Structure 1
Amino acid sequence: MIQQTIPAKYVHESRTIKESMVLPPDTNHHGTMFGGEVMAYIDDVATIAATKHARHPVVTASTDSVDFLHPIKAGYAVRLESFVTWTHKTSMEIFVRIVSEDLLTGEKIVCATSFLTFVALDEAGKPISVPPIVPETPEEIALHESAPRRASVRRERRSESKVFAAEFGITNRG
């Protein structure tokens, strides 16, 4: 069997940006954006970046982290930027940066960061190989170099989740 190599892609080829206004229905009783709404935006923009990289359908394998750093206020703009930072055989790590902007002053602040893992699928819904990634900027290189450590933490956490699910999963208690 001849193994076909997949050409590498540059990080910038997956870069995806989504920007929108934070309106009152998007906010809680504090006048700040719902965390769940931010998380939905994160998954959306990360899915687009992963699909651009793989050029195949993708599924979210895990949301590794969402670190909320500052609240996002109603009336502000929120900008999410995502890109692939690292790939394994069939999986991709995606980084998402969430920035809010006070549209009246122009002040911008990083409000959250997130790492997610996606798996590319073939036509039958089975995992398929993805291209390697080529980082170029200092940020891309730093995220790429630190990715194996995050992947190790993910594997450990996933193993613990499997044990927990097997031990404390579905019961037939009434």
Structure 2
Amino acid sequence: MSLHDDAVLVLKGYEGEYEGQDGLRGLYLDHLSAHPDAMWKSCAAGHLTASALVIDPERGRVLLTLHKKLGMWLQMGGHCEPDDDTLEGAALREALEESGILGLRPLAGGPVQLDRHAIPAPCHWHLDVQYAALAPAGAIERISEESLDLRWFSYEEAARVADGSVVRLVERTRAALEGRNTP
């Protein structure tokens, strides 16, 4: 199965319980249908990306990266690569590359949320499929070349430094961990 096929299956199975998520799911599926190259950075109409919020629920914190190009505190993530077999695998690969943390485990249940955001030309959109990754006990992070900084934030601190998309991702990840829904 190709990464494109995996993305279609993941999105068809994504329940999108939060406001606007079902519409984004439909937009992503339409984009995949219209663009055979929708998984790759070369797709100028926009492309799918994969990201993962690294979370340490035992200590009530998340690991965020200060993105080098954007100057914003974000979850780990980026472009899919030809060796990626699944979206979840791409998200975990990105989380490992950007955090240096070995032994990350995906939060069960698939993507936590979808987020579509504009990026500068020549491409116009990132259609991000956002997962959560559980950090093992005693995890030690290591900054990568892609970051200006890498830091653990309490849930409350993350809400003060990150944008709305990351704040929603943190809230929805916490809700998924607790087995409940949140806006």
TM-score, scaled relative to structure 2: 0.34
TM-score, scaled relative to structure 1: 0.35
Higher strand share: 1
